[in-house]
C-alpha cells in the first residue's frame, strides 16, 4: 500500500537509503557526477543548509563506469568527516572574530578582548577590558580592522580607555 491508500503523510525525517542518496542524522549524502573529470563525487549537505559542507571524490564501482553504492559505514564516515569540517570552520571563524590579550596596569592584570561584529554594511568591533575576576570595566567601539596586540591594548589602558583613533 502506498501513502495515499493508508492516509499517512510521507515522513520527511525518515531515513533514505538509496545507492546514490542517503539521508539521516541531519545529513544528506548525494553521489554526483564529478564535473572535473570522468569520475564521481559525493556531496554532504547538513539539513537546512543551502551548500554542501563537504564535496569529495567517490569510488567507482566494479564496472569502472558507475559509482559504488553508498552504504551504512560509508555514510557514517562521511557524516563524521563533514561534521568535523564544519566544526573546524566554526573554530576558525571564532578565532578571526574574537581575539584577546593580557596587559598589566598598576600591578593588576587586565584581559583585553576584541570582538568583531561582521555587519555587511557597517562592520565594527568592541574593545573590552576585564579585571581579574572577569568583570568588564571598560568598553569602546572601534573599527573592525583594529589590530589588537599587547602594545595596542596597553596604549588603550594607559589612555584611560578612550576609544583609539
Entry pTM? 0.67
Q: How many domains does the chain have?
A: 2
d(CA 64, CA 72): 22
Residue 93 and residue 45 in contact, taking contact as beta carbons nearer than 8 Å: no
Has residue 41 been placed in a domain? Answer: yes
For residue 29, what are the domain limits?
3-70
Has residue 18 been placed in a domain? Answer: yes
103 and 57 in a common domain = no
Has residue 122 been placed in a domain? Answer: yes
47 and 9 in a common domain = yes
154 and 103 in a common domain = yes
Read off the pLDDT of residues 3-60 as tens digits, 9 standing for 90 and up: 444 444 445 566 889 999 999 999 999 999 987 777 899 999 999 999 999 999 999 8
142 and 103 in a common domain = yes
Read off the pLDDT of residues 132-165 as tens digits, 9 standing for 90 and up: 999 999 999 999 999 999 999 999 999 999 988 7
Amino acid at each position: 500500500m502506498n501513502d495515499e491508500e493508508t492516509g499517512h503523510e510521507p515522513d520527511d525525517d525518515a531515513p533514505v537509503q538509496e545507492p546514490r542518496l542517503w539521508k539521516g542524522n541531519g545529513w544528506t549524502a548525494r553521489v554526483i557526477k564529478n564535473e572535473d573529470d570522468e569520475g564521481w563525487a559525493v556531496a554532504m549537505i547538513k539539513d537546512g543548509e543551502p551548500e554542501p559542507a563537504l564535496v569529495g571524490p567517490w569510488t567507482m564501482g566494479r564496472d569502472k563506469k558507475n559509482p559504488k553504492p553508498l552504504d551504512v559505514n560509508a555514510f557514517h564516515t562521511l557524516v563524521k568527516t563533514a561534521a568535523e569540517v564544519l566544526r573546524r570552520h566554526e573554530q576558525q571563524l571564532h578565532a578571526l572574530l574574537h581575539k584577546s590579550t593580557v596587559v598589566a596596569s598598576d600591578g593588576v592584570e587586565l584581559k583585553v578582548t576584541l570582538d568583531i561584529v561582521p555587519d555587511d554594511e557597517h562592520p565594527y568591533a568592541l574593545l573590552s577590558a576585564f579585571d581579574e575576576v572577569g568583570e568588564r570595566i571598560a568598553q569602546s567601539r572601534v573599527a573592525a580592522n583594529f589590530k589588537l596586540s599587547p602594545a595596542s591594548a596597553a596604549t588603550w589602558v594607559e589612555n584611560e580607555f578612550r576609544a583609539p583613533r
